[in-house]
Amino acid sequence: MSTRLVAFEKVGISFDDRVLLDSIDMVINEGEIVTLIGPNGSGKSTLIRTLLGLQVATRGQVVRHKKLRIGYMPQKLHIDPTLPLTVKHFLALVRGVDKSEIRPTLEKLGIAYLIESQVHVLSGGETQRVLLARALLNHPNLLVLDEPVQGVDVNGQVELYNLIEGIRDELNCGVLMVSHDLHLVMAKTDTVVCINQHVCCSGTPQHVTGHPAYQALFGVPGADESIAIYAHQHDHVHDDHGDVLSNDDGSHSHCNHH
Ligand SMILES: Nc1ncnc2c1ncn2[C@@H]1O[C@H](COP(=O)(O)OP(=O)(O)OP(=O)(O)O)[C@@H](O)[C@H]1O
């Protein structure tokens, strides 16, 4: 059985009368990719901040493995654009970093050619990879990625998700990713936790996208079958012409489990 890295147990966060998180249960295991989804203002960043220890739970608790080591990738790089700073120097700022690991880490992410580039001239996709490199230099057993594909085009998003999956396979680390919707990330995710202050539903991507709570928040998937997962469940048979033959009771159906 894989090691449990983090467990949220009935975690709640309130300010004055406002509930930001309510009774959140969530587990992240080693080697598992968990995607956290929810609409704007649903508490995703608050949950991440709580995991990072930057926000204290007002109810419940966050149980962390004693050897938990988080590599955090923020949504954006906040650096003064007038400050000259190369990628190499930026990564050398990681506390306790072994500088000899900087180039191999960039190579692993396919961006070794950027090592002497100024960080403020990088494209969206390049910036995300540099931030991922910074997270990896921390030797994490849990990667926490806050909207890792923000500002990246669709092809770049697929590449980044492939990269993240490859890192998980190589390091057997846990991954917690924040996303706004499930379309592209779906195939790369083991478990989805859909929140809107509370956990609306959780489980496999197929289970969650078929859940009424998910569909109430994000609509019914399937408008674009090229990217949505379509699981066609047969409870009937077709004749030689493809026509549906009725069941014994005369009924038949096609089920869409997204
Ligand atoms: N320290 C705080 N004090 C009071 N309210 C806060 C605090 N931090 C966040 N909030 C509020 O909590 C709500 C949830 O915010 P949060 O940033 O966690 O949502 P989110 O799901 O990450 O949203 P988005 O998708 O827009 O990034 C927001 O309405 C926000 O204004």
Could you give the ipTM of this predicted complex? 0.94
pLDDT of residue 233: 39
Q: Taking residues 87-92, report their average pLDDT.
A: 96
Report the chain's mean pLDDT, rounded to a whole number: 85
Protein residue whose Cα sits closest to atom 30 of ligand 1: 41
Q: For ligand 1, say whether the CB of 46 is within 6 Å of any of its atoms.
A: yes
Q: Are strands 70-73 and 142-146 parallel, antiparallel or unpaired?
A: parallel
**Which atom of ligand 1 is the closest one to the Cα of 38?**
21
Query: How many angstroms separate the first and last alpha carbons of the chain?
Result: 28
Protein residue whose Cα sits closest to atom 27 of ligand 1: 40
Q: Parse the chain into domains and list their residue ranges.
A: 4-69+140-220
Distance 156 CA to ligand 1 centre (A): 28
DSSP SS3 for 193: strand
**Which atom of ligand 1 is the closest one to the Cα of 55?**
1
Q: Which helix (H) or strand (E) holds 233?
A: strand 232-234
Of all residues in the chain, the percent with pLDDT exceeding 90 is: 63
Q: For ligand 1, say whether the CB of 41 is within 6 Å of any of its atoms.
A: yes
Residue 87 contacts residue 115 (beta carbons within 8 Å): yes
pLDDT of residue 222: 61
Q: Taking residues 99-117, report their average pLDDT.
A: 96
Distances (CA, A) of 244 to 230, 234, 250: 19, 10, 11
DSSP SS3 for 218: helix
| pLDDT at residue 112 is higher than 60 | yes
pLDDT per residue as tens digits for the range 24-52: 999 999 999 999 999 999 999 999 999 99
Q: Which residue has the tokens 């990896």?
A: 136
pLDDT per residue as tens digits for the range 235-251: 444 444 444 444 444 33
**Which atom of ligand 1 is the closest one to the Cα of 75?**
27
What is the third-level CATH fold of 4-69+140-220?
A: Rossmann fold (3.40.50)
Q: Which amino acid is at 12?
A: G
| pLDDT at residue 104 is higher than 50 | yes
Protein residue whose Cα sits closest to atom 3 of ligand 1: 15
